[in-house]
Each structure stands twice: as C-alpha cells, then as structure tokens.
Amino acid sequence: MKNILLTSLIVLSFLVILEACQHKTEIVVPKTNPTDTTGNNPNPNPCDSNIVYFDKDILPILNSNCAMSGCHDAGTAAEGVVLNSYEKVMSTGKITPYNSNKSELYEVITETDPKKIMPPPPNAKLSAAQIALIAKWINQGAKKIDCNSSTCDSTNVTYTKQVSKMLNTYCVGCHNAASPSGNVLLDSYANAKQATLNGNVVGSVLGGTMPKGGNSLSACNKRILQLWAANACPQ
C-alpha cells in the first residue's frame, strides 16, 4: 500500500514537472505598430515568416469564409458569433490561446460531421493550409501583432502574379459559385476579368465598400487592382 502511494506520488510529481516544462512558442511583440499606408513603407517591423499575423494572415480567411452576410458578420451574428475583427473573434470565447485543440473555433473548422463543420456546406471547407495557419496562430498565443510586408510589387501586374492571390484572400469567399454575392463572381480568371471590365470591382475596393464588412484593402492592393483594370486585365 505504501509502495503504491509512493509510486503514485512520484508519477504525479513527474507529470506536474512535465506540464510546467511544456514549451510555449512565445512571440516578442514589436513595440512600434506602424500602419502601411503607402504600400511600400521602408519597414521597421518586417514580417517574420515564422509568425502568423492576425491582420495579414487570419482576418482575410475569416472575412472571406466566415464573416459573410447571412453568417458571422455584425448584421447576422449567427449564434451570437461575429468574426470580422480581432476583438470580436476573441470575445466569442472560442479561442484558447496556445491550445488549438481546446479551441472551439479550431474544432469546428476541422469537424468531419457535415452538420457541425464550419463553414457549413455547400460552402467549401477551409484548405489544409488555412487550417494550419489558424492552428499556428492560436498555438502562438492568438495575439494581435502587426507587421509591414516590405515591398509592394506593382510592376507588370497580371492575374497570375498578384491579382488571383489578392482576390482569393479578400473576395472569393463571398463571390464564388456557392455564394455569388451581388451576382458577382471573382473565382476564376475569366470571371474576375468579366466582373472587373464590366462591373464595379475597382470602384467598390477604392470606395471601401468591399470587402464587405472587412478592413479596406491596403494602398498597395488597391493600386495593383487599378493597374490591372487599366491594362484590360492581363492573365
């Protein structure tokens, strides 16, 4: 009996020590917090490719896949959940910093049950890369850290080189076949070109009405879109 007690005590203290030693990825929060207004600021806080940034990496995924009208925008707030800003995301209580496995937001995007998965069908599920980014962001502490991406590559603007990535990040979640908001499709070269040449894509971005409910695009992205349209949308 004494032996069993002693053994349990040893095992228990071992577990406590193990738990205390678990390594957390601690991120150094930059002191200054510049905003990139010109799109090509000389950069005091260059983006670190090992860090996942909320505004640059996470918010665009949420804006395009979760914070749509009818879902988790401020107007609809399905189940009380609004996902269009850092403060709103954290106040859902569905993020446990440093622990993606204990975060309900992570759980629902990795669900296999079609009744529980987010975004719900027929919306496409998040890509493995997007899911991995969200997990990494949570496991790095779910912080709000900004960085300036150093340069704005607005030379020889083409769909393949710059525009497709921008549209996929900021627009396609609300403008694809399953969710053609305002009858505008931006999910392929042909569709994006057609919408840009015949519709109000540039105007909506410059005027800040799109991305709907989200942050206005950076000056760099606005310039890229303008140049692309001015050159009749090269592929």
Stretch that binds ligand HEC, among 17-25, 116-124, 129-137, 202-210 (CB under 6 A): 202-210
Compute the Cα dihedral for 111, 115, 121, 123 and give only its sign: negative
Residues in Cβ contact with 103 at an 8 Å cutoff, skipping those fewer than 6 apart: 94, 95, 96, 138
Q: Is 200 in the site for ligand HEC (CB under 6 A)?
A: yes
Stretch that binds ligand HEC, among 4-12, 124-132, 204-212, 227-235 (CB under 6 A): 204-212
Cβ atoms of 64 and 171 closer than 8 Å: yes
Residue 190 Cβ vs ligand HEC, minimum distance, rounded to whole Å: 16
Query: Which residues in 65-94 contact ligand HEC (CB under 6 A)?
Result: 67-69
Long-range CB contacts (within 8 A, 24+) of 80-89: 84/59, 84/213, 84/214, 85/59, 86/54, 86/55, 86/59, 86/144, 89/62
Site string for ligand HEC, 25-64 (x = CB under 6 A): --------------------------------------xx
Contacting residue, 82, 134, 147, 201, with ligand HEC by CB under 6 A: 201
Cα(24)–Cα(107) distance, integer angstroms: 20
Contacting residue, 52, 106, 109, 173, with ligand HEC by CB under 6 A: 173
Stretch that binds ligand HEC, among 18-26, 28-36, 116-124, 201-209 (CB under 6 A): 201-209
Q: Is 152 in the site for ligand HEC (CB under 6 A)?
A: no
Backbone angles phi, psi at 63, to 5 degrees: -60, -45
- Among 174, 217, 203, 167, smallest CA distance to 188 is for 167
Contacting residue, 182, 190, 208, 231, with ligand HEC by CB under 6 A: 182
Stretch that binds ligand HEC, among 14-22, 97-105, 125-133, 165-173 (CB under 6 A): 165-173
Cα(30)–Cα(38) distance, integer angstroms: 20
Cα(10)–Cα(16) distance, integer angstroms: 10
**Which of residues 67 and 220 has its CB atom nearest to ligand HEC in the complex?**
67
Residue 76 Cβ vs ligand HEC, minimum distance, rounded to whole Å: 10
Binding residues for ligand HEC (CB under 6 A):
63-64, 67-69, 170-171, 173-175, 181-182, 184, 199-201, 204-205, 209-214, 217
